[in-house]
Structure 1
Amino acid sequence: MHGPASSGWLLVALCAATGAYCLLRMRSGVEEQRRAAGGEALMGFGMAAMAVPTTAFTPPEWAWPVYAVVFGAAGLRALWAARSGRHHVHHLVGAAAMVYMAVVMAGAPAHAHGHGTSGVPLLTGALLLYFTGYVLLSGVRLIPVAAVAGGAAAAGWGDRPELSRACRLCMGIAMLAMLPAM
């Protein structure tokens, strides 16, 4: 992504830390949580790689099509999984957003990313609206409610739903930062 280097490095750190935690969540005893954590780890590390400031590293031309293929495959997997639950639709939208960003970055010259455009493209605006709503809803879901006696102590730290929600919130915020920086 192109923009100020300091915000790029903060995005890299946030997304990499989120991806690392999601990798740890893959040790869960619950199959569905392991599957979701794997997809979220891929998203976190992919977003971290895309957020590296171009002043530090300019990816080779072949990197953007590779991102598009990887996240296209993740999107197909999310589409298949969406048959069993609507929460997979968010993973589908996230993967589609990553494919979109990779395609835009592949098609634009290195010096022109984020410059010289007149307004926000319609798809970027729609994704910004979606992720804004997602972030607001995720934030509300983090508001503490009365804990069930023994429930928090029985779950391992990798199975705590509030931590996985916080990770999803972080990635939603990162997506909001990355979309306008294209």
Structure 2
Amino acid sequence: MHGPAMSGWLLMALCAVTGSYCLLRTRTGSEEERRTARAEALMGFGMAAMAVPAAAVAPPAWGWGVYAVLFGAAALRALWFSRRSGHHLHHLVGSSAMVYMALVMGRAGAGGHGGHAAHTMGSPGMAGAGGIPLLTGLLLVYYAVYVLRSGARLVPVTATVPGGPPSAGWGTRPELALACRLTMGIAMFAMLLTL
């Protein structure tokens, strides 16, 4: 490995590809499936942007505030739609985690990007480099459980219905949608670990 910059670039590429596939999924399926795909695409692209190593592109000081507002709005949207679907509760947790990471990295200063190098916080509200340790720990546990559950659900999925025709296209393959969710869960876990 070439240090934190290489892992940041790899994480950025993985999240961008995942976001792109989720964007492709917005063209097919029911309205609920398209809504879910849009939320997942936003999360994938947002995570990709946050993972760009600071050595390559130093974010402006106000950039973290933009992330916080954008994902705060996404969290409110997920809260609204969670009345219909339990999966939107996961989007609520994910968007809230993104707000949290943006606030922590914004307080850490311009160096708190991409590689998420250790920082000292001047604010008593955010203890240490990882923000609030209990909250960071709870988010890590949530994403560890989410990744394990998603991985277990991915194993038995097949691309075709027994006795039926193969899936119509890339946007309708359930195993790819599950793989994207698994990928974003792993990426979120990695970002929280290095916070």
Mark the CA change 1:154 to 1:9 in structure 2 (over 3 Å): closer, same or farther: closer
User: C-alpha distance in 2, partners of 1:98/1:64?
Assistant: 10
Confirm or deny that 1:149 pairs with 2:153: no
Write the mapping of 1:18-167 to structure 2, written as runs, cut at 5 A: 18-111=18-111, 113-116=117-120, 117=128, 121-145=133-157, 148-151=161-164, 153-167=166-180
More contact order relative to length (CA 8 Å, sep ≥ 6) = 1
Confirm or deny that 1:169 pairs with 2:173: no
Deviations along 1:73-112, one digit per CA (max 9) or x if unpaired, are 0000100010011111100000000000001111112346
Instruction: Name structure 2 gaps, 5 residues minimum.
Output: 121-127
Instruction: Name structure 1 gaps, 5 residues minimum.
Output: none
Task: Give 1:161 deviation, angstroms.
Answer: 1.2
User: C-alpha distance in 2, partners of 1:102/1:24?
Assistant: 27
Higher mean C-alpha displacement, 151-160 vs 165-174: 151-160
Percent identical across equivalent pairs? 66
**RMSD, matched Cα:** 1.9
Q: Which amino acid aligns with 1:168?
A: R
Q: Which amino acid aligns with 2:139?
A: L
User: C-alpha distance in 2, partners of 1:173/1:35?
Assistant: 22
Task: Give 1:138 deviation, angstroms.
Answer: 0.2
**Are 1:114 and 1:180, in contact at CA under 8 Å, matched by a contact in 2?**
no
Task: Give 1:148 deviation, angstroms.
Answer: 2.9
User: C-alpha distance in 2, partners of 1:154/1:118?
Assistant: 46
Task: Give 1:154 deviation, angstroms.
Answer: 4.5
Aligned residues: 180
More helix per residue: 1 or 2?
A: 1
